[in-house]
Chain A
Amino acid sequence: DIQMTQSPSTLSASVGDRVTITCRASQSISSWLAWYQQKPGKAPKLLIYKASSLESGVPSRFSGSGSGTEFTLTINSLQADDFATYYCQQYNTYWTFGQGTKVEIK
């Protein structure tokens, strides 16, 4: 099974900050990685697919990069609406998620 490890687990930031979340795969997954945002009581929302492709309607302050085993999600100029939990997901072999990164207000 492919394991996905996100860091950090929790991140404290302020509006306007640049935030970076890292996701590492236990083996190469090429670029078969997606990022989701989840707010309390809501379903996850797709942000990024194929490591760096922005889903339609997602603000351009979100960006993804990486390939192989190391990936990052960057949020430029964090907005109040961005405080949430973020998950990476590999879809190279079946589907597995990272444990999540909670972005909270500093």
Chain B
Amino acid sequence: EVQLVESGGGLVQPGGSLRLSCAASGFTFSSYEMNWVRQAPGKGLEWVSYISSSSISIYYTDSVRGRFTISRDNAKNSLYLQMTSLRAEDTALYYCARGPPGGSGYWDYWGQGTLVTVSS
């Protein structure tokens, strides 16, 4: 069974940093593209960052580029999001999501999310 389990969220002050993790199981993690997606409280879905299976290709949405860094450790079946210079508008539930076999752009499995709250 495919499982994605996020962790690392919490309360952080504006300007602070946080590192999110996503532990994958039930599939060959090293073969799949992965993404971070967020959802502010009561709002819609927003793509945050993408990483290819071998980490060769990495993309960010404009609002986080230069502040967030996506990475993965295929040996540990884990995906990460290092977040720095956090702002109130980064407050959201952060999901990791898997690209499908063959990498066609949509996401077939999602974790349950980890909540990041940026507030003083």
Contacts and interface: CB of A to CB of B under 8 A. Distances in A.
Interface of A: 32, 34, 36, 38, 42-46, 49-50, 55, 87, 89, 91-92, 94-100
A87 B100 contact: no
B106 A49 contact: yes
Q: Which of A42, A43, A87 has the most CB of B within 10 A?
A: A43
A37 B111 CA distance: 14
B44 A95 contact: no
Which of under 10, 10 to 19, 20 to 34, or 35 or more describes the interface residues of B? Answer: 10 to 19
B107 A46 contact: yes
Interface residue SS majority, chain B: loop
Nearest to B95: A43
Contacts of B47: 94-97
Given A91-B104, A91-B105, A95-B35, A44 B45 contact: yes
A34 B105 CA distance: 9
Interface residue SS majority, chain A: loop
14 contacts: A32-B105, A38-B45, A43-B111, A43-B112, A46-B107, A49-B104, A49-B106, A50-B104, A87-B45, A89-B106, A91-B104, A91-B105, A99-B44, A100-B44
